[in-house]
Amino acid sequence: MRPEEGHGRPAAGGRAPSRRSVLGMAAGAALTAGGCGLRGPDQEGTGKAPRPEAPRGPAVELIGDGSTSRTGDQPNQPEVEPLEPGQAPPQFVVFSWDGSGEVGNGLFERFLRLARDHGAAMTFFLSGVYLVPESRRELYRPPRNPVGASDIGYLTDAHIKDTLRQLRRAWLDGHEIGTHFNGHFCSGAGSVAEWTPEDWHSEIDQAVSFVTRWRTHTGFTDVDPLPFDYRAELVGGRTPCLLGQENLLLAVSRRGWRYDSSSPGGRQVWPSKRMGLWDLPLQGVPFPGRSFEVLSMDYNMLANQSVNATRSHPANYPGWRAQAREAYLAGFRRAYSTNRAPLFIGNHFEEWNGGIYMDAVEEALRRMAGHPQVRLVSFRQLVDWLDAQDPKVLARLRTLDVGQSPEGGWRRFLAPRPRGSGRPKAPVPAAPGPQSVAPPTDPDVY
């Protein structure tokens, strides 16, 4: 099973809570991306859709064929502030979504409403092929795979329109639109694990083209343009199955990206940079009732609870839902009460095992949001905050191990240090949790 398989299930129940402001930070730096290398009739000057009229409201500058537009600064982005001396860092939590296509199950809408209810921002890693009609699949030329191939398929025209509308709403609400690339190849000779930096450049160029030229590729004239310049918006992503990060970093470090969330498993410590990008991996969190930790993603919960989503008994669902929820909350509590390392949680708009993982992550978010000094942010907002901090403060935070509390409390731990005081003494662990993560049996557990 691939992480994005299984679309088209019955709609999940949603709620309609009230709108609240996003607890995030200012938007970040722009991306300079090369032109798309696709070959197709539209790029030869035929089949272009007419440019739409700009929608009423704030000033809109259409870009290219009118698929995207410049509408000014992104809404709901509070200012970034560095920590004051001795100030405790916030507890950041990033909820992110791989694929981010609307396939008629109501999950995109459900979690946008949940985010509004709790002042949360999230990151939506869009799969570019979700904006390409299946009738135009020849536009996609995946590295090391046949033309038009995609291990996650293509959406119907109606679902492409729904996805575009939800992406528009998400950005206007203050969420980030990143990338999950395109065809999601996780096995065989064409796996992303085997891709070169040049392959990744091609894949990214095509993902950008599918977002910035959807109007030409689809012919739709009844959908508003996306309200952002995707080349400036795109500053990070997550690879399929968490494979191929090393060569991806070689490619994106030259494209102006600011972070990557493709590392195959991390620990609950303060992040550092690799090749000039913030490395923000999914993390091992305690798995209730088990002696190992599990990666903080819905699919990993599934892989450790059942063979797959179609060969499990519904009688297990309540216990599994509670176990998944408590795994997220155990990771949260461990960080919140000790080193305050950011917590990263990955999801898919799927109803695996009766939708229990969607219920689990919603319940976990609601409980986390009720604590003081908690900020539910996007990856982009997190790196804005990290980049605004004194590097010495971040280095000090990185001396805290998993489950380690700051010695003497935050006021003492982050107080200005006298010149020449040397390397700070490592803090004493408060109550470290289990450190091992269950080894995957195949790449799909990511």
Q: What is the pTM of this model?
A: 0.83
Ordered DSSP codes for 383-439: HHHHHHS-HHHHHHHTT--TTBPPTT-HHHHTSPPPTT--SPPPPPBSS-----BPP
Among 104, 127, 135, 158, residue whose Cα is nearest residue 217: 135
Ordered DSSP codes for 203-231: HHHHHHHHHHTHHHHH---SSPPBSS-HH
CA dihedral (244, 247, 250, 254) in degrees, to 10, reads -70
The pair phi, psi for residue 99, each rounded to 5°, is 90, -60
Lowest mean pLDDT among 2-11, 263-272, 418-427, 436-445: 2-11
> Average per-residue pLDDT in the chain?
85
CA 32, CA 255: separation in Å to the nearest integer? 6
Query: What are the beta bridge partners of residue 226?
Result: 68
10 falls in which pLDDT band (50, 70, 90)? very low
pLDDT digits 0-9 by tens, 333-372: 999 999 999 999 999 999 999 999 999 999 999 999 999 9
Both tokens assigned to 411: 């006021």
Query: What are the beta bridge partners of residue 345?
Result: 95
Q: What is the pLDDT of residue 309?
A: 81
Q: What is the pLDDT of residue 45?
A: 36
Average pLDDT over residues 277-290: 97
Is residue 83 within 8 A of residue 375, CB to CB? The reply is no
pLDDT above 50: residue 199:
yes
Average pLDDT over residues 206-220: 98
Lowest mean pLDDT among 29-38, 207-216, 281-290, 406-415: 29-38
Q: What is the pLDDT of residue 152?
A: 97
pLDDT digits 0-9 by tens, 37-75: 222 333 333 344 444 544 455 679 999 999 999 999 999
Let me know if domain 83-445 sits in CATH 3.20.20.370: yes
pLDDT digits 0-9 by tens, 235-255: 999 999 999 999 999 999 989
* Angle ∠(72,60,254) on CA atoms, nearest 5: 55
pLDDT above 90: residue 446:
no
Lowest mean pLDDT among 10-24, 113-127, 166-180: 10-24
Among 144, 155, 131, residue whose Cα is nearest residue 185: 144
The amino acid at residue 401 is D
**Residue bearing tokens 């790196």:** 383
Q: Which residue has the higher pLDDT, 34 or 439?
A: 439
